[in-house]
Amino acid sequence: MENYSFETKAIRAQLERSENNEHSVPLYLTSSFVFDEAEDMRAAFNDEDDTFIYSRYTNPNTNEFVNKVCLLEGAEVGVSTASGMAAIFTTFMALLKSGDHVISCSSVFGATHAIFTKYFPKWNITHSYFNTNNVEGIEKLIKPETKFIYLETPTNPAIELIDLEFVSGIAKKHNLLLIVDNCFATPYLQQPIKLGADLVVHSATKYMDGQGRVLGGVVVGKKELINDIYLFGRLTGPSMSPFNAWVLSKSLETLALRMDRHCDNALYIAQKLEGHAELENVSYPFLPSHPHHQIAKKQMKAGGGILTITLKGGYEAAKNFLNKLQMIKISPNLGDARSIVTHPASSTHCKLSEAERLNVGITPGLIRVSIGLENKEDILKDLLQALK
């Protein structure tokens, strides 16, 4: 499969046919597997072969999904989990011990921020945040007990970019791991491992599913790290369900096609909305006005499906705008075929203090728009009528 292009891998890297010669991959809804002989079960438990044992460990469907993501990200191996947060938490818990320190971009997914601030102190793990506009400052944050640098790019929800090659250079120089949450870009637009990341985590719930149906997560990367993460997950149980893996493997077949359309639609809408009288700002990585446009062009194939708009009238104007939308729905999700709007300050990031929010660019008038696969003129029409 290695020599095929992205689209072909996403479609053709599937499970071997069973003796039934099915064309579409079957769903293996089984919690455990049977052994012909006592000796076979002993061998499986002693890691002498990789036969299936129990679906908390592995399952044909989760294996298929993980193998596909590895091929698409250019990773050695991986582990699937029940959600994106399960992938992130399992990775942290498998790699960290009491006394360790981590460095993260300050603009990080709300629940990840909560792990750093609410739970890490309980286990004597400390963290430092760097600002997206000061990646040079990362070096000053490094301590002897620092274990890894963690980041998202583009960031959620402010859509800022971090130069992956630059940060991986810092990580290598100081012998730190680099872990990247690649949820917003997907491997179709950006492959952090090729730019020096050691591990990539995903919420498969978003673009990988692409239709807002199932939760899922995956972490892929270096074998010796994944081994620890796999073992931790196998013992503590954040496993992905075979059904979700089956859905997600099929979804990946159309990832390239969907991302092309998401990106085309989002760029078109960003261009049309830029300069609108009611808007203070439109932020989209592939708009030349974006402060990190050069980084975006360097490491991303296209700008992604998310843009933000900032209304001049603050929260009141944002609320009116959301309530006036006719087709587009208010929801916390993103990466769906349907366009979605979210007001981060009052929802996904409401647990942060006002100062913390402003520090990561979440103003009261900021709205995150996840541009869907509907006709771009219909999306634009709905946004424009709500801005009136």
Ligand X SMILES: *Cc1c(COP(=O)(O)O)cnc(C)c1O
Distance of closest approach, residue 366 Cβ to ligand X, in angstroms: 16
Distance of closest approach, residue 276 Cβ to ligand X, in angstroms: 26
Cα distance between residue 288 and residue 307, in whole Å: 14
Task: For residue 225, give the H/E element and its range.
Answer: helix 223-236
Q: Does residue 154 have a cis peptide bond before it, meaning omega lies within 30 degrees of 0?
A: yes
The SS3 of residue 152 is strand
Strand partners, 48: none
Residue 317, token pair as written in the block: 């104007």
Distance of closest approach, residue 228 Cβ to ligand X, in angstroms: 21
204 vs 267 by CB, closer to ligand X? 204
85 vs 302 by CB, closer to ligand X? 85
83 vs 190 by CB, closer to ligand X? 83
Cα distance between residue 138 and residue 129, in whole Å: 9
183 vs 366 by CB, closer to ligand X? 183
229 in Cβ contact with 94 (< 8 Å)? yes
Give the interface with ligand X as residue ranges (CB under 6 A).
Answer: 83-85, 109, 152, 156, 181, 183-184, 203, 205-206, 215, 217
87 in Cβ contact with 218 (< 8 Å)? yes
203 vs 308 by CB, closer to ligand X? 203
DSSP result, 270-310: HHHHTT-TTEEEEE-TTSTTSTTHHHHHHH-SS--SEEEEE
The SS3 of residue 6 is helix
Cα distance between residue 151 and residue 155, in whole Å: 8
Distance of closest approach, residue 217 Cβ to ligand X, in angstroms: 6
Distance of closest approach, residue 268 Cβ to ligand X, in angstroms: 23
Residue 319, token pair as written in the block: 């609320």
184 vs 382 by CB, closer to ligand X? 184
83 vs 339 by CB, closer to ligand X? 83
Query: Which residue minimizes CB distance to ligand X?
Result: 84
Distance of closest approach, residue 125 Cβ to ligand X, in angstroms: 19
Sign of CA dihedral 102, 133, 222, 29: positive
The SS3 of residue 267 is helix
Distance of closest approach, residue 147 Cβ to ligand X, in angstroms: 20
Distance of closest approach, residue 238 Cβ to ligand X, in angstroms: 10
Cα distance between residue 199 and residue 179, in whole Å: 5
Round the CA-based radius of gyration of the chain to a whole number and report it. 21
95 vs 306 by CB, closer to ligand X? 306
